[in-house]
Structure 1
Amino acid sequence: MVTSTHEATHRLFQEHPEALTLVFESLGIPPPEKSDFGSITPDATEIRPLERRVDTVLKFEPAMGESFLLAIESQTKKDPDKAKSWAYYVAHLSAKYDMPVLLVAVCRDRSTAKWAAGPFECAVGPWSTQVTRPFVLGPGTVPVITDESTVTRQPALAVLSAIVHSDDRRAPAILETLARGLLSFDPGTTAYWFEVTEVGLENTPAKEK
């Protein structure tokens, strides 16, 4: 099911892939530039029988270093079937584009984030043929941003923080800081970020703040 959170993260990463800076820092890769990314179709369907679609797929092609794909999925709850879909997405995209794939799961609550980290194994007895371990952007990995200057420097990361921590007791403080920081931009930019944030908060209590 496509939710508002899916739509918001899709827009965020498609239009502002610099929000993935945390992923690159954790991998020991220099912070990405927007020009390093290209969008490719999220369609992972073969011939026909069953439609399969990744939320967002980005191609990372730096001037120096290894190129790879990022398959980004917004996950709002535990879903045993999704683990099988994720393994398929990674295998299909890697074979189709002949590139390694980094699967990133975006989660709002800690229990879902813990589950999404896997590992998810395709195994027979003690032998694992395939293991899927997503990189999780969740409450434990995305910082709580309550510093206005960080919002003005990294608005994409600040919006991601507000969405990921929308169920946190500190959500009102996070949103207040975000609002103050975003008001420093021109009206059009401010309206854009407010819209992405509002859509991403979906039906969480934080949306009413």
Structure 2
Amino acid sequence: MDAETIVSSTASSPSASAEGGSLRDSILHQLSGRDESPLLPAPLEQDLVTSSPVVSSPGEVLVAGPVIDPMAEYRSLQRRLLLFTLGLSALAVLVAGWRFNGPTALSVAIGSMGGLVYLFLLSRSVQKLGGTNKQVGKVQLLVPVTLVLLSTRWPLLQLLPALIGFLIYKPAVIISTALDLWIVKPAANSPSPSSNA
């Protein structure tokens, strides 16, 4: 179908004039080959914030559709990682308290708190990326350094259990990623209800 055919069929189309749409919208509609408007995508689930106006010419304003919060998924991931780390940290402190002595459990607890602070500072630094920030900040690197210095100055804090407690955020990240892949993968392979019809 060439451009002249589209323009002539659009100009004579009763649906274009009945709906009050412009010639441009009708042409875009026919070129897209779809029944729905090309400017309005299907509504998304929960990340909708508002509709944003798009000005195509000085007197015309079209609604382009909902604006999606791009950081919503990242904040959800950040919360999930912090909760997984907190859960694994509590489990590690309980196991260290049950299996080893009190100072070892305290060292694991202090190291775990350092790991939580490190993960929080890292995620806050990653969240600030873009715009003027082109690299991740280095503030979070002070946490393991402080942990090592604290273990050398305070005799009750043991270095190895504190470092093990600090590194608990790593298995939490791995477990969270594995759960994401395990949950998403079966959903992607399952047949959709519309494909059975």
Into which bin does the TM-score normalised by the smaller protein fall? under 0.3
Higher radius of gyration, 1 or 2: 2
With structure 2 as the length reference, what TM-score do the two structures score?
0.25
The structure that is helix-richer by fraction is 2
